[in-house]
Amino acid sequence: MHMHSGKYEGLDGGRRGRLFSSHMKKARRKDGKDEKEYALKQIEGTGISMSACREIALLRELKHPNVIALQKVFLSHSDRKVWLLFDYAEHDLWHIIKFHRASKANKKPMQLPRSMVKSLLYQILDGIHYLHANWVLHRDLKPANILVMGEGPERGRVKIADMGFARLFNSPLKPLADLDPVVVTFWYRAPELLLGARHYTKAIDIWAIGCIFAELLTSEPIFHCRQEDIKTSNPFHHDQLDRIFSVMGFPADKDWEDIRKMPEYPTLQKDFRRTTYANSSLIKYMEKHKVKPDSKVFLLLQKLLTMDPTKRITSEQALQDPYFQEDPLPTLDVFAGCQIPYPKREFLNEDEPEEKATAGGGGAGVPPNKKPRIGPYGANSGGPVMPSDYQHSSSRLNYQSSVQGSSQSQSTLGYSSSQQSTQYHSSHQTHRY
């Protein structure tokens, strides 16, 4: 761990601000030894929270092409701030999907290419399989946390980010009531959590991936629901369950036998009527978006969005699904050699109100408890001082997973770690973990 080194400075004229919920800056080495751009994430608050400790500890151990690489950790003793240095990714799925949703709103619909959707899903599953094989649950998967690299040696590579909610699950699982009141953004939250499940399982990440998959196919959040932005220890959320049932139909007893054992099942019986959703089904919903029920893409989506978590497909099974074995095959570069039409991730001046985030079409694509922050940083926006080490700142290949022919968790793609052995010099005392 380093303290306030002097080799890097911020891009964009020293502007500061937040990318979603954290202070984030783009940075580059001052000494010019490489032209690579990095992302500096300043942990919210003073000192190191338990959530930050989890993120730091996990990221220092995780090494996979589809999991964001933590390069360095900086600690400023003077103001008790902690900065994490990551590889910089120019894009994320929230902005990519928003781009396509806007094209529909402008009467010039342009769907995500199906080959791109397949490559994105495959890499997300490969990264999550690695996490799950190493006993890590992400617990907060959503489009904003799925980054995609821009131009460069890792062009079009998916990077799973924001591990703040992640936890190891090889130790005894804590009851959910002992953890964060709101963990998974509601729209991507598995039904068992909404019905009061006592423990997390890998299946909650799989449900979230199913939601992301549907959103990539339709450019719309499949379980979009208006609800107040609150934190509560009560896991039962009527409106969110209503939205899920409106799309999926009410689960039949034979399809989810253990639903009767869920803590909130009595509330479910009291508040809902099965007949209300008699005409609802995932088949009908996806047919409206021109996805045929006998297609391999639909059959995989159905397996990911299985109501019963014990019957939900695993990441390993999903990677071996026939969907990924038909042409076009998944690629390392999700943009597959094409020009990238998407704008880079946007930032918000800290002095600007969050309400500006919803201007210009936030609408249905904006989760209620995670408003996107948009617009450039102002030069005088204030915010914490960043480590002074930093200045602000494609060929088509078949993608082979570690799962194919092996149960190993490490990727077989042959990538070297992005950790660097760069020497840092500073007049200040330097600390290393």
What are 400's two structure tokens? 């082979």
Beta-carbon contacts of 22 under 8 Å, excluding residues fewer than 6 positions away, are 41, 42, 43, 44
Q: Give the Cα separation of 90 and 346 in Å (integer).
A: 9
Which member of 92, 126, 140, 321 is catalytic? Answer: 140
140 among known catalytic residues: yes
Contact 9, 388 (CB under 8 A): yes
Q: Give the Cα separation of 315 and 331 in Å (integer).
A: 18
Q: Give the Cα separation of 265 and 191 in Å (integer).
A: 11
State the pairing for strand pair 18-19/70-76.
unpaired
Hey, which residues are catalytic here? Answer: 140
